[in-house]
């Protein structure tokens, strides 16, 4: 014990501990970087896709997001957002943005499928992030009942129970989901675009996301067996419409009846 105590008081002990700490930290960083790189490379993109995507990014996106997608005051960094985020934002026309506003709105897209894939490949090469979902998760053959339960618990408070969309604060809104592709629905859950929270695999599993997509596509094709759904805005707005319309009919009938008696 005495010999060990003397070694701890040695002038070089602090330097040795510092070097040991740096070696351990460097080793852990190297392992983490290797894991991230492995995750980033588990895509179907080629090196040429990433190279062409870099050219498209520099010409169309770097003004806001900066060279190397490191971000500027006009746009956030895209390092680590993954290919799924790019495919959603660019594939729905939300990016590049048409104008500044509370949130990016859907519009006719500027890039075709190949160019969108190239942009996604470039951003995916910058860091690990959610990848474009596998086709097996988009086959719309999940459990619609479970999907409906998951949707009502996690999504209906913004998108409406009938997925008809709804208003949020300060000019923001949750869009209607009718007509949205299963791939873009999955990518939105995985990446959390605009004001939407991220539902990673720990929140909603890939199978759960598949079930939600199945549910949304099922209610989209079912229609409204009870007649006009009035936009599916919910019982309050629909009840108000029925009340106003019914009251109008009663008033009109009363006026007609009194005019007949006079």
The answer to whether the annotation marks 10 as part of a ligand binding site is no
Query: Alpha-carbon distance 178 to 160, whole Å?
Result: 12
The answer to whether the annotation marks 110 as part of a ligand binding site is no
The pLDDT score that the predictor gives to residue 234 is 59
The pLDDT score that the predictor gives to residue 233 is 57
**Which domains are delineated in the chain?**
48-131 (1.10.760.10), 133-224 (1.10.760.10)
The answer to whether the annotation marks 47 as part of a ligand binding site is no
The pLDDT score that the predictor gives to residue 21 is 74
The answer to whether the annotation marks 155 as part of a ligand binding site is yes
The answer to whether the annotation marks 207 as part of a ligand binding site is no
> Which of 77, 87, 179, 192 shows the shortest CA–CA distance to 132?
87
Residue 215 CA from chain centroid, whole number: 18
**pLDDT less than 70: residues of the chain:** 1-13, 17, 27-43, 223-238, 261-262
The pLDDT score that the predictor gives to residue 3 is 55
The pLDDT score that the predictor gives to residue 85 is 96
The pLDDT score that the predictor gives to residue 241 is 75
Q: How many CB atoms lie within 10 A of CB 212?
A: 29
Query: Alpha-carbon distance 58 to 12, whole Å?
Result: 51
The answer to whether the annotation marks 178 as part of a ligand binding site is no
The pLDDT score that the predictor gives to residue 38 is 38
The 3-state DSSP composition of the chain as helix, strand, coil percent (nearest 5) reads: 60, 0, 40
**Spatial contact of 90 and 193, defined as CB atoms under 8 Å apart:** no
Alpha helices in 69-181 (DSSP H): 82-91, 113-126, 144-154, 156-159
């Amino acid at each position: 014990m005495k010999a060990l105590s003397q070694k701890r008081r040695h002038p070089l002990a602090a330097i040795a501990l510092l070097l040991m700490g740096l070696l351990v930290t460097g080793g852990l960083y190297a392992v983490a970087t290797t894991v991230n790189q492995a995750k980033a490379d588990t895509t179907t993109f080629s090196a040429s896709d990433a190279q062409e995507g870099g050219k498209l990014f520099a010409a169309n996106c770097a003004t806001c997001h900066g060279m190397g997608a490191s971000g500027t005051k006009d746009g956030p960094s895209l390092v680590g957002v993954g290919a799924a985020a790019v495919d959603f934002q660019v594939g729905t026309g939300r990016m590049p943005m048409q104008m500044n506003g509370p949130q990016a709105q859907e519009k006719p897209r500027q890039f075709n499928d190949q160019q969108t894939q190239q942009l996604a490949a470039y951003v995916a090469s910058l860091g690990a992030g959610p990848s474009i979902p596998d086709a097996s998760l988009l086959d719309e053959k999940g459990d619609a009942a479970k999907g409906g339960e998951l949707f009502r618990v996690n999504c209906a408070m913004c998108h409406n129970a009938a997925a008809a969309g709804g208003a949020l604060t300060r000019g923001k809104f949750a869009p209607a989901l009718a007509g949205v592709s299963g791939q873009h629905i999955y990518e939105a859950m995985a990446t959390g675009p605009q004001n939407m929270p991220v539902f990673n695999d720990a929140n909603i599993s890939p199978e759960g996301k598949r079930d939600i997509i199945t549910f949304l596509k099922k209610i989209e094709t079912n229609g409204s067996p009870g007649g006009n759904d009035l936009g599916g805005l919910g019982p309050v707005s629909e009840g108000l419409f029925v009340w106003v319309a019914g009251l109008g009919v009663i008033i009109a009938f009363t006026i007609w009846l009194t005019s007949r008696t006079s």
